[in-house]
Amino acid sequence: MNSKEIKIKQEILDLQSKINEWDNAYYNLDNPIVEDAVYDNEILRLKKLEEQYAYLFTYEELKNSPTQKINAFASETFTKIRHNEPMLSLNKAYTYEEIEKFIAKIDKIAVNYSFYIEPKIDGLSISIKYKNGKLWQAVTRGDGLIGEDVTENVKQIECIPKEINYLNDLEVRGEIYLSISDFNNLNRMLELENKPKMANPRNGAAGTLRQLNPEIVKERKLSAFLYYIVNPELHNIKTMTESFEFLSKLEFPISKETKTVYTIEEIFEYINNFKTIKTSLDYETDGIVIKLNELKYYNELGYTVKFPHSAIAFKYEPDTVSTTLKNIFATIGRTGLVTYNAELEPVTLSGSRISFATLNNYQYIYDLNLNTNDLVYIKKAGEIIPCVISLVNKKEELNVFNKIITCPYCKESLIDSETFLEQYCINPNCPEIIRKRLIHFASKEAMELDTLGEKNIDFFIEKGFIKNIDDFFRLKERSAELTNLEGFGYKSIMNILISIEKSKELSLERIIFAFSIKHIGAKVSKFIASKVVSLDQFIDFDFEQLTSYDEIGPKIVSSLKEWCNNEHNRSLVTRILDLGVNLVYKSNAKSNILENLTFVITGELSQPRSFYEKMILENGGKITSSVSQKTNYLLCGEKAGSKLEKAQKLNIKIINENEFYDLCK
């Protein structure tokens, strides 16, 4: 090799090593360190270099490249299961010309063929087996040959049927994902509980499916689309169109955005139309999958180690833009947690004008080697604030922004967490911590003081009306002064005072959550409230006795004891009680009339399904998604499908809406 070839070979080896590292973070750690836009650019560059300079490598060297294999492995945490048939990835196309090449290869083998198109879901691949009509096993893709047994976790996903009206052995494959709305809700709850937020829905889905506690999986409301049947000939299925009809008939969740097409022009039309459609969907998709519809040609077309030749994924340009990072600054949360933020040269992204983005913590800044005046890529997903994802131009040397060591609001020194990933301001008199706690106390999720928005609270703080939490309950004593404030009339002040009076009737968990105790989120607050019963019992409650419950760990107990032993907090609770505010725990259950009864809901009803689900839960009942011997009632509307047939076969009691209302009386 000459000097140029030596340099090129080293460039290829370095690129392979870098992509191997990225693959490991994405597939195995559920924590991608670069965005799809960056990854796709580099994997394309590697492919072109390997094709052009293949003569510099042995067959074994090229075979081990990340362009030729799935860089994933089965976790040691779960039982390893070997797939009966390999779970392959898909080759990707980024231009119309690549789609034309894909079709040209098919044209050499197939005649009178068509295509089946569906969205490319950004989630986690899964294979699910059914025996005698019951969900028997669910396995992740892993490295394509060996995956992880996540059966119990998959059983927690409501839309995946636990029983089907088909007794032959069946293996179906698809994608598990976290909807954008559930992702945003989950991140809001994590933020309220002062826990790290999920980076994106794909991370949320992958991390959730690998939880050791199935209850967490159930709470996070994963979703799924199934789109492939293994060995379809065993089920007399000849096309992808028939596969989807078969899945639909058995009530598997399938995408509604699929289409059978016959020409390349129709494929290009779908690509153009779907680019707009995908922006309104409640799940993340960065492209479409184009599959040969006629399954009889699949074996003849063949496979590589990594992907089949019968399908290809077309990827759209990602929703990223580049701009200049003008400044880096820190903000402080209600528990003192430090968040780093970026001020940007304003730029339009997904229809919004963006001037600021999150940088998470300092480790994130260090890992990306970010500094002021850098040209960076930013991305926006769902309702989440835009995030800086990488440099546009990689720096040869470390040139990173210096870590902030003092609180920008009170100038006290910041401290690092045990993991050194987070920083905190621990000054109890920090004006920003006090402000954020007052805003949180009044929030909808806490004490529901709807009329006291952030601007009003800031104004009341500035005027000296509110300094501590108990001052909210003293505002009625100063109603005359308040009505004379500029911008506030008698009616608006009365509305504020009425909402404060109403808050005194809330259940105990609201004020526990409103206190901003570290590690104590809304769910944990409710559990604690059910044991403490009333606010006057809270400050001296023996929290050690809660460790026998799964919901409570040593960190939570330690945090509760630390907060309740603090004299400032003890005085706060005493002052609130002296003002006549003694919240008690109130269960959401209206009755136990449906206790020990299990319901399945099907068909078109006069109210949304959530209406009936709420009634069932409020009256002590349970809800499942599939009919079984354990089902007590099938609440049935118009156009019911296989659930009605199965209920009839199992002699399950079938009721209409009126009969359901009678049950709840």
- Which residues, other chains included, contact 253 with Cβ-Cβ below 8 Å and sequence gap of 6+? 159, 160, 223, 224, 225, 226
3 state SS of 522: helix
DSSP E strands: which ranges in 18-96? 80-82, 92-93
Instruction: Find out whether 634 is annotated in a ligand binding site.
Output: no
Helices (H), 521-629: 522-532, 535-538, 554-565, 567-578, 609-618
Instruction: Find out whether 39 is annotated in a ligand binding site.
Output: yes
* Ramachandran assignment for 420, one of left (phi > 0), alpha (psi -120 to 50 degrees), beta (any other): left
- 557 touches 546 (CB < 8 A): yes
**Taking the CB of residue 595, how many other CB atoms lie within 10 A of it?**
11
Instruction: Find out whether 343 is annotated in a ligand binding site.
Output: no
Strand order in the sheet with 285-292: 92-93, 311-315, 285-292, 115-121, 259-261
**Taking the CB of residue 528, how many other CB atoms lie within 10 A of it?**
25
Instruction: Find out whether 48 is annotated in a ligand binding site.
Output: no
Instruction: Find out whether 131 is annotated in a ligand binding site.
Output: no
Instruction: Find out whether 175 is annotated in a ligand binding site.
Output: yes
CA–CA gap between residue 646 and residue 627 (Å, rounded) = 7
To which residue do tokens 């006549």 refer? 580
Instruction: Find out whether 291 is annotated in a ligand binding site.
Output: yes
Instruction: Find out whether 407 is annotated in a ligand binding site.
Output: yes
Task: Count helices and strands (H / E) in the chain.
Answer: 24, 22
Instruction: Find out whether 36 is annotated in a ligand binding site.
Output: yes
Identify the active-site residue in 63, 69, 105, 120: 120
Closest CA to 387 of 399, 396, 373, 376: 376
Instruction: Find out whether 40 is annotated in a ligand binding site.
Output: yes
- 122 touches 201 (CB < 8 A): yes
- Which residues, other chains included, contact 140 with Cβ-Cβ below 8 Å and sequence gap of 6+? 74, 78, 124, 125, 126, 127, 147, 148, 150, 209
- Backbone phi, psi, residue 154, to 5°: -65, -30
Could you tell me the two tokens for 333?
A: 């949360």
Catalytic residue check, 120 = yes
Instruction: Find out whether 636 is annotated in a ligand binding site.
Output: no
Instruction: Find out whether 38 is annotated in a ligand binding site.
Output: yes
CA–CA gap between residue 634 and residue 603 (Å, rounded) = 10
The annotated binding site is made up of 36-40, 89-90, 118, 141, 175, 291, 315, 407, 410, 425, 430
The annotated binding site for NAD(+) is made up of 36-40, 89-90, 118, 141, 175, 291, 315
Residues carrying an active site annotation: 120
